[in-house]
Chain A
Amino acid sequence: QQPVQSPQAVILREGEDAVINCSSSKALYSVHWYRQKHGEAPVFLMILLKGGEQKGHEKISASFNEKKQQSSLYLTASQLSYSGTYFCGTDRNTDKLIFGTGTRLQVFP
């Protein structure tokens, strides 16, 4: 039931791009994306609703394909501040958010 994220870990140099994928075995109503820095709380980045929309947040954007039950997070021209663990959170129109397995992103100078 837990969404699966890939890759599990990504190592980047500053300025490089990355894509993080989130895949669910169940039909989805919406997808959330969060970033958690080491020792801190997860922080909400964005939500994508049914309709296959793509949203942006600074140089971080995401897409949602509800037919494939997948979402992807795109990080462009990565910065050191992007380092952390990224979680997708999936909503099946119930009262709860189920978080994915997480992707650890490290950006080096």
Chain B
Amino acid sequence: DTAVSQTPKYLVTQMGNDKSIKCEQNLGHDTMYWYKQDSKKFLKIMFSYNNKELIINETVPNRFSPKSPDKAHLNLHINSLELGDSAVYFCASSQETGPSVYGYTFGSGTRLTVV
């Protein structure tokens, strides 16, 4: 069983479209995150949810909206996609809020390409 699974793995779409990325974890973790990795490999936090409650909302355009229907799922919806949104988006989870002594478990990533 995959601990943190993301779908889709690849996403190619045109500018202006709306798309969603889904994430599910079966580790029983309380906290989930979205990170964006750009072409220079920089990993930047976007959002964090603890047991369905938003706890971190970095400076991210309003076009990005996370949703957590339950503590095992965290989805990311992106409206009006722009070329600059092209990146790899990673979902991650941790046992507790904030950096856990057990570290973060990352999903395999979703490579988003906006054309």
Interface residues of A (CB under 8 A from B): 2, 29-30, 32, 34, 36, 40-47, 49, 85, 87, 89, 91, 93-99, 101-102, 104
B61 at the interface (CB under 8 A from A): no
How many residue pairs between the two chains, A and B, have CB atoms under 8 Å in the bound complex? Answer: 66
Residues of A within 8 A of B60 (CB): none
Q: A24–B108 Cα gap in the complex (Å)?
A: 28
Q: A101–B103 Cα gap in the complex (Å)?
A: 18
Q: A44–B4 Cα gap in the complex (Å)?
A: 14
Query: 9 additional contacts, CB 8 Å, given A40-B108, A42-B90?
Result: A30-B99, A32-B103, A89-B104, A91-B98, A95-B50, A97-B45, A97-B104, A99-B43, A102-B43
Instruction: Count residues of chain B with CB under 8 A from any CB of chain A.
Output: 25
Q: A46–B35 Cα gap in the complex (Å)?
A: 19
When A41-B109, A95-B98 are in contact, do A101 and B42 touch as well, CB less than 8 Å? Answer: yes
B97 at the interface (CB under 8 A from A): yes
Interface residues of B (CB under 8 A from A): 4, 33, 35, 41-45, 48, 50, 55-56, 90, 97-99, 101-109
Residue of A nearest to B109 (CB): A41
13 interchain pairs, CB-CB under 8 A: A29-B99, A36-B41, A40-B108, A41-B90, A41-B106, A42-B104, A44-B104, A45-B103, A47-B103, A85-B41, A95-B50, A96-B48, A102-B42
Q: Is the Cβ of A47 less than 8 Å from the Cβ of B99?
A: yes
Q: Is the Cβ of B106 less than 8 Å from the Cβ of A95?
A: no
